[in-house]
Amino acid sequence: MNKRIYHGSENRIEKPVYGYGKKYNDYGVGFYCTESLEMAKEWSVGDGRSGYANIYDLNMDGLTVLDLNDREYCTLHWLSVLLQNRQFEVSSVLANEAKEYLISNFSPDYSSADVIIGYRADDSYFSFAQDFINGTISYRQLSKAMHLGNLGQQIVLKSEKAFSQLTFVGSEIAKADEWLDKKLSRDKDARNEYFNVERNRRQHGDLYITQIIDEEMKSGDARLRQDISRKSEDLFR
């Protein structure tokens, strides 16, 4: 089965190179793609710089896929992977304890995955995650914040096998004067909705990281399933 995916870049990339890229990306070194052509165009542009939405077909046959949006996972599984790869500011004692606890208890085995599917932690999402481990927002607020701005999910190729099953189809130019404003507006909208509404909307019974640690909550705890109300294919339409 082929999956059509897109990669936003300042360059036209006909043959992605396995093992190349930044190690501090969300899921480590890999080739980061999306199923949205529009999103790839937004990702490709910079300030005064146009880019390309590179188009590929990925043959999924025989690939091991870790889908962090699957029902067996919750937002904390995604966050534990992020904590192992992104450079987090853990200046407080609580944030450091939270990081250690989440990695120890919610980290899925992703070392053998050919492909990882999950949220994309752009600057706004990254700040939401930092607020959570610092105890500023609740687990419910973090889970809901992941859907602000409609950033959707990313598909990351992690293995040589996955790279070998990728076929370049073509590319489309993304003009900076068209797509940069859309990119900035999406992030701004997510931040505004978060700070104006979600960050201050505490509810009775909300779970905070301190309670999760103190009560030694583990993967599968029913109280942590509140963020999964729909299947992953419904979340990112």
pLDDT attached to residue 90: 73
pLDDT attached to residue 204: 76
pLDDT attached to residue 198: 56
Q: What average pLDDT does the chain have?
A: 86
233 within some domain: no
pLDDT attached to residue 66: 95
pLDDT attached to residue 169: 98
Kindly give, in sequence order, each residue whose CB lies less than 8 Å from that of residue 115, ignoring residues fewer than 6 positions away.
58, 60, 63, 64, 65, 66, 155, 156, 157, 158, 159, 162
46 within some domain: yes
107 within some domain: yes
117 within some domain: yes
The list of the chain residues with pLDDT below 70 reads 121-125, 147-152, 191, 194-202, 226-237
237 within some domain: no
23 within some domain: yes
What is the domain range of residue 121? 2-226
Number of domains in the chain: 1
234 within some domain: no
235 within some domain: no
